[in-house]
């Protein structure tokens, strides 16, 4: 009753001041800080390389937010990236002509991983945190087995094109990395799917209240499995970019699952589901990359990154909870 | 009853940003008195109680206890001063025993050891005080008790805390008829024991059964105060500011009833036995019964959520068998769940998204969310307008709407599909009086347009007032049929299968 009374005044306020997601302000502030530290950042080589470096995480996080909004987590994406990079190098075996079918095969693996994750969560009723944790360990094992523990460190240039190549001699911006094009195209596609289709609205609904969604006729299992598939496929794409960018190793994807979750949370996605935005998540991924970049400039060692990332995750969720409490559940 | 008030609230005012929640409200309760506090949702009842119990501090006015002013800074201080509130959601620990719950945080010890025997004995004594001793074992786990017993444990806890004032906030919300009667007896016992009881409700039956005095709140102000029990109509008039004569919509006339739209024959599953009934187009068919009689199980069986295992079902002349809600929905059956927040709403989504949920669920996954085969956004807005859903905007999160408006948005979800049969489970639970009337009229309008309506409710007067025909259920069976306007006693008798049920 009191909530009711309290809320009567709220919509007015919400309409008067359109809420801008704080992640955009944070990102803007960080970019200013980077520019102050390194004026070369305003050159195309500066910001384009930044975007290129951020692209895999941005795509991965944009996929992860599907699972988060549907009310789950996908921890398997990091080791799926590793599997994609290792598997691609094994399958293509230095043959530049193999790239096409190798990428198709990797997308096939991603599809299978997503479907299995979804089926385990939907039908075996294993909580997604555990189901995808199991998948993460399993895929890591597969990656090791496939490579025999020592991956052959090559990927053909035709494969590495996506992660590494820059299109040069473009007016104004001078260079445009292929990875940035992939990020833009996929980012827009994922934005469209999440915010402009029936699927997207239903992902929100099942994350908000699965029982209500089911009784309203939502095909809950189909929607949930689709969310996992989107996440896995985005991991495959992120893996293809990282393979091109960073080369082959058995720990290339390590830790990416948590970075993706952190990015989604920075973008204001509600843990436990029901709310989240693809553009804000991509901004969250850029924010995280900007923080890492800044720490690099400041000469702080690698472990500091982990400390900072952990604190950001906690702070972002705490802030979200506080805001939620203030707006009355 | 002539002594000075135990508690007295004088000229209480409370403002929240943008809203005046309470304005100059005075309220008192004496020893051995049940003072009913009634009003619609949003009238300020809960705010007043939260001030009394130390959750909020008043902006104006004072709270006096036993003739002395007090200013609570924390709910614990109010409890220490003898004020206990029993909220709609219980604060018991389910995996602890009754005794452990009652002595939570103030366990009796002897030689630094818990003195279970002493605590158990005291628990028994408190329970016996209001006749709950025979149904509640002090060593039982709270999770194993039914809702009514859990409530009694809450009351026992309050008494053992030496509560001078006991506030009960809509205590019957989750109780069935038989449990309500037990609760009323408990309240009688408390009154006899000398406790001051503040009883919040918007059910007239409870007011007339229990109250010594009645205070009506409306829009944060005292709308009426009755020193003796008035006619129910006078209370309702003060609450809603109008007469109650047109509260229910008129029953269906003979020519408004059409052909049978849904019939079930020999329907059985683990909760239902040999269900047989016929629902006609244009008819509101009420299902009465106590909790666990199988009414909700029947709804879920028709809807395919917990299907019949045997028997036949015919929908608009076609033999049908549903094993999943989607099949039932596709065939033209809609369902409004009884637990609006738990089963009906997606709270963080907009009013419009809540309305569009079902139309979208039957659209292509990858096509635009703006348009489905059933309706588009503009069509949904028209439906919401038609039902007079009150919201700042249909883009607003539905959690900010009142219960009645939330319910209408769920109805809109189904209307877009033009269902042949609509099942309403507890359609007015937790909805204020004015909005209830709106829901009855809405059901009648849908029936007039040719839908068959199944209405399941634990509120007998509303079933009698709204349904054209009433089926009583008991133990998973349909045991009797009553015409519209049947007597409450006759239905209760069938629903409980006991003579003594006819109070």
Model confidence pLDDT, tens digit, residues B309-319 = 999 999 999 99
The verdict on B105 and B28 lying in the same domain is: yes
Is residue B32 assigned to a domain?
yes
| Distance in Å, alpha carbon of B440 to nearest chain A alpha carbon | 22
pLDDT of residue B503: 38
Among the partner-chain residues B43, B46, B365, the one whose CB lies closest to the CB of A226 is B365
pLDDT of residue B130: 75
Here the ipTM equals 0.86
Is residue A35 assigned to a domain?
no
pLDDT of residue B18: 61
The CATH number of residue A141's host domain is: 1.10.3470
Residue of chain A with shortest Cα separation from B329: A217
Among the partner-chain residues A5, A275, A329, the one whose CB lies closest to the CB of B42 is A5
The larger pLDDT score, comparing residue B244 to residue B132, is at B132
| Distance in Å, alpha carbon of B415 to nearest chain A alpha carbon | 12
Answer whether B348 sits within 8 Å of A5, measured CB to CB: no
The verdict on B129 and B224 lying in the same domain is: yes
Please choose, from the candidates B49, B60, B50, the residue with its C-alpha nearest in 3D space to the C-alpha of residue B10: B60
Answer whether A8 sits within 8 Å of B393, measured CB to CB: no
The verdict on B120 and B214 lying in the same domain is: yes
Is residue B354 assigned to a domain?
yes
Degrees, nearest 5: CA angle B133-B138-B142: 110
Answer whether A218 sits within 8 Å of B361, measured CB to CB: yes
Is residue A102 assigned to a domain?
yes
Round to whole Å and give the CA distance between B216 and B86.
Answer: 20
Confidence of residue B243 (pLDDT cuts 50, 70, 90): low
* Residues in chain A with pLDDT values less than 70: 1-18, 151-153, 324-329
> Which pair of tokens denotes residue A283?
């901004």
Q: Sheet containing B260-269: which strands, arranged edge to edge?
A: B272-280, B260-269, B310-315, B318-320
Number of structural domains (chain B) is 3
Return the bridge partners of B22, or none.
Answer: B14
> Which pair of tokens denotes residue B379?
């069509």
Say if residue B496's pLDDT is above 90: no
Confidence of residue B436 (pLDDT cuts 50, 70, 90): confident
The larger pLDDT score, comparing residue B469 to residue A321, is at B469
The verdict on B31 and B103 lying in the same domain is: yes
Say if residue B500's pLDDT is above 50: no
Q: What is the percent of chain B where pLDDT is above 70?
A: 96
Is residue A5 assigned to a domain?
no
Is residue A10 assigned to a domain?
no
Answer whether A205 sits within 8 Å of B391, measured CB to CB: no
The model's pLDDT over B49-87, given as tens digits with 9 standing for 90+, comes to 999 999 899 999 999 999 899 999 888 899 889 999 988
Q: What mean pLDDT is reported for chain B?
A: 88
| Distance in Å, alpha carbon of A194 to nearest chain B alpha carbon | 10
The verdict on B398 and B485 lying in the same domain is: no
The CATH number of residue B317's host domain is: 3.40.50.300
Round to whole Å and give the CA distance between B38 and B415.
Answer: 34
| Residues in chain B within 8 Å Cβ distance of A214 | 305, 325
Overall average pLDDT of the B317-329 stretch:
95
Confidence of residue B292 (pLDDT cuts 50, 70, 90): confident
The verdict on B283 and B321 lying in the same domain is: yes
DSSP H or E segment with residue A159: helix A157-164
pLDDT of residue A15: 43
| Distance in Å, alpha carbon of A49 to nearest chain B alpha carbon | 34
Say if residue B2's pLDDT is above 60: no
Among the partner-chain residues A9, A218, A226, the one whose CB lies closest to the CB of B17 is A9
Overall average pLDDT of the B195-201 stretch:
92
Is residue B446 assigned to a domain?
yes
Is residue B273 assigned to a domain?
yes
The verdict on B319 and B233 lying in the same domain is: no
Answer whether B357 sits within 8 Å of A196, measured CB to CB: no
Compute CA distances B192 → A63, A245, B212, B217, B258, whole Å: 64, 81, 13, 27, 54
The least confident of A192-206, B103-117, B348-362 is B103-117
Is residue B384 assigned to a domain?
yes
Provide the residue range defining the domain that includes B315: 246-332+419-503
pLDDT of residue A214: 95
The verdict on B182 and B58 lying in the same domain is: yes
Answer whether A6 sits within 8 Å of B19, measured CB to CB: yes
Answer whether B399 sits within 8 Å of A211, measured CB to CB: no
Answer whether A201 sits within 8 Å of B391, measured CB to CB: no
| Residues in chain B within 8 Å Cβ distance of A218 | 357, 360-361
The least confident of A202-206, B19-23, B335-339, B414-418 is B19-23
pLDDT of residue B242: 58
Last residue of a domain, one of B200, B224, B240: B240
The verdict on B224 and B302 lying in the same domain is: no
Q: What is the 3-state secondary structure (H, E, C) of A87-113?
A: HHHHHHCCCHHHHHHHHHHHHHHHHHH
Is residue A296 assigned to a domain?
yes
Spatial CB neighbours of B67, under 8 Å, sequence gap ≥ 6: B4
Determine contact, residues B348/A274, Cβ cutoff 8 Å. Answer: yes
The verdict on B354 and B503 lying in the same domain is: no
Total beta-carbon pairs less than 8 A apart between chain A and chain B: 140
The larger pLDDT score, comparing residue A73 to residue B498, is at A73
Is residue B2 assigned to a domain?
no
Please choose, from the candidates A31, A58, A47, the residue with its C-alpha nearest in 3D space to the C-alpha of residue A242: A58
The larger pLDDT score, comparing residue A101 to residue B152, is at A101
pLDDT of residue A21: 86
pLDDT of residue B265: 95
Residue of chain A with shortest Cα separation from B390: A8
Is residue B145 assigned to a domain?
yes
| Distance in Å, alpha carbon of B109 to nearest chain A alpha carbon | 39
Residue of chain A with shortest Cα separation from B352: A201
The verdict on B12 and B41 lying in the same domain is: yes
Last residue of a domain, one of B202, B224, B240: B240
Is residue A43 assigned to a domain?
no
Answer whether B325 sits within 8 Å of A222, measured CB to CB: no
Say if residue B387's pLDDT is above 80: yes
Is residue A42 assigned to a domain?
no
Number of structural domains (chain A) is 1
Answer whether A208 sits within 8 Å of B21, measured CB to CB: no
Answer whether A217 sits within 8 Å of B391, measured CB to CB: no
Provide the residue range defining the domain that includes A299: 20-28+51-326
Round to whole Å and give the CA distance between B342 and B360.
Answer: 20
Say if residue B3's pLDDT is above 80: no
Spatial CB neighbours of A260, under 8 Å, sequence gap ≥ 6: A57, A60, A61, A63, A64, A77, A285
Is residue A149 assigned to a domain?
yes
Overall average pLDDT of the B338-346 stretch:
91
Last residue of a domain, one of B207, B240, B273: B240
The verdict on B97 and B148 lying in the same domain is: yes
Please choose, from the candidates B363, B367, B305, the residue with its C-alpha nearest in 3D space to the C-alpha of residue B338: B305
Is residue B200 assigned to a domain?
yes
Answer whether A198 sits within 8 Å of B348, measured CB to CB: no
């Amino acid at each position: 009753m009191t909530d009711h009374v309290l809320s009567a005044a709220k919509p007015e306020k919400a309409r008067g001041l359109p809420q801008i997601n704080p992640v955009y302000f944070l990102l803007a502030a960080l970019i200013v800080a980077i520019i102050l530290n390194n004026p070369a950042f305003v050159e195309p080589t500066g910001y384009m390389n930044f975007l290129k470096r951020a692209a895999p995480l941005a795509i991965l996080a944009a996929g992860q937010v599907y699972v988060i909004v549907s009310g789950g987590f996908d921890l398997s994406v990091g080791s799926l990236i590793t599997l994609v990079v290792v598997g691609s190098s094994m399958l293509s075996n230095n043959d530049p002509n193999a790239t096409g079918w190798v990428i198709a095969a990797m997308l096939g693996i991603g599809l299978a991983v997503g479907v299995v994750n979804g089926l385990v969560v939907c039908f075996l009723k294993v909580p997604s945190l555990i189901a995808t944790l199991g998948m993460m360990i399993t895929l890591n094992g597969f990656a090791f087995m496939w490579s025999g523990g020592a991956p052959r460190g090559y990927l053909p240039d035709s494969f590495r094109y996506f992660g590494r190549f820059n299109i040069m001699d473009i007016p104004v911006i001078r260079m445009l990395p292929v990875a940035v094009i992939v990020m833009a195209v996929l980012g827009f596609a994922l934005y469209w799917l999440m915010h402009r289709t029936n699927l997207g609205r239903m992902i929100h609904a099942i994350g908000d209240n699965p029982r209500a969604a089911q009784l309203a006729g939502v095909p809950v299992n189909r929607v949930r499995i689709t969310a996992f598939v989107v996440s896995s496929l985005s991991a495959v794409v992120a893996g293809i970019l990282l393979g091109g960018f960073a080369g082959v190793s058995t720990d290339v994807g390590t830790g990416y699952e948590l970075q993706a979750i952190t990015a989604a949370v920075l973008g204001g996605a509600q843990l436990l589901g029901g709310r989240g935005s693809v553009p804000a998540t991509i901004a969250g991924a850029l924010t995280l990359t900007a923080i890492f970049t800044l720490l690099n400039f400041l000469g702080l060692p690698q472990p500091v990154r982990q400390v900072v990332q952990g604190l950001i995750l906690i702070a972002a969720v705490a802030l979200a909870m506080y805001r939620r409490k203030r707006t009355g559940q | 009853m002539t002594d000075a008030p135990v508690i007295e609230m004088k000229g209480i005012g409370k403002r929240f940003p943008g809203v005046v929640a309470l304005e100059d409200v005075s309220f008192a309760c004496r020893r051995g008195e049940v003072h009913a506090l009634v009003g619609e949702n949003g009238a300020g009842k809960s705010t007043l109680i939260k001030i009394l119990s130390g959750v909020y501090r008043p902006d104006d006015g004072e709270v006096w206890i036993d003739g002395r002013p007090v200013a609570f800074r924390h709910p614990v201080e109010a409890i220490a001063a003898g004020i206990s509130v029993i909220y709609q959601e219980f604060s018991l620990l389910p995996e602890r025993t009754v005794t452990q719950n009652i002595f939570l945080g103030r366990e009796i010890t002897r030689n630094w050891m818990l003195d279970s025997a002493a605590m158990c004995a005291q628990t028994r004594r408190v329970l016996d005080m209001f006749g709950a001793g025979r149904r509640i074992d002090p060593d039982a786990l709270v999770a194993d008790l039914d809702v009514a017993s859990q409530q009694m444990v809450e009351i026992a806890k309050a008494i053992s805390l030496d509560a001078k004032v006991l506030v009960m906030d809509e205590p019957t919300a989750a109780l069935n008829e038989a449990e309500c009667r037990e609760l009323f007896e408990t309240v009688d016992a408390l009154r006899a024991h000398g406790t001051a009881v503040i009883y919040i409700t918007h059910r007239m039956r409870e007011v007339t059964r229990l109250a010594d005095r009645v205070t009506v709140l409306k829009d944060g102000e005292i709308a009426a105060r009755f020193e003796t029990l008035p006619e129910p109509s006078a209370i309702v008039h003060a609450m809603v500011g109008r007469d109650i004569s047109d509260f229910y919509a008129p029953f269906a006339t003979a020519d408004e009833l059409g052909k049978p739209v849904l019939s079930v024959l020999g329907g059985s599953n683990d909760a239902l036995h040999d269900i047989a009934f016929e629902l006609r187009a244009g008819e509101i068919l009420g299902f009465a019964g106590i909790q666990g009689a199988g009414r909700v199980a029947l709804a879920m069986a028709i809807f395919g959520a917990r299907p019949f295992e045997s028997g036949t079902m015919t929908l608009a002349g076609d033999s049908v068998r549903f094993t999943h809600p989607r099949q039932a929905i596709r065939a033209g059956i809609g369902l409004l769940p009884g637990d609006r927040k738990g089963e009906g709403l997606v709270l963080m989504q907009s009013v419009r998204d809540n309305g569009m949920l079902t139309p979208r669920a039957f659209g292509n996954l990858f096509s635009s969310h703006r348009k489905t085969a059933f309706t588009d956004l503009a069509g949904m807005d028209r439906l919401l307008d038609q039902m007079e859903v009150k919201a700042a905007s249909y883009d607003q999160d539905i959690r900010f709407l009142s219960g009645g408006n939330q319910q209408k948005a769920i109805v809109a979800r189904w209307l877009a599909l033009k269902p042949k049969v609509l099942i309403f489970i507890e359609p007015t639970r937790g909805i204020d009086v004015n909005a209830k009337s709106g829901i009855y009229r809405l059901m009648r309008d849908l029936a007039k347009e040719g839908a068959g309506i199944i209405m399941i409710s634990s509120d007998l007067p509303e079933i009698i007032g709204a349904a054209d025909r009433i089926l009583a259920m008991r133990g998973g069976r349909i045991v009797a049929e009553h015409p519209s306007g049947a007597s409450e006693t006759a239905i209760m008798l069938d629903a409980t299968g006991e003579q003594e049920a006819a109070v």
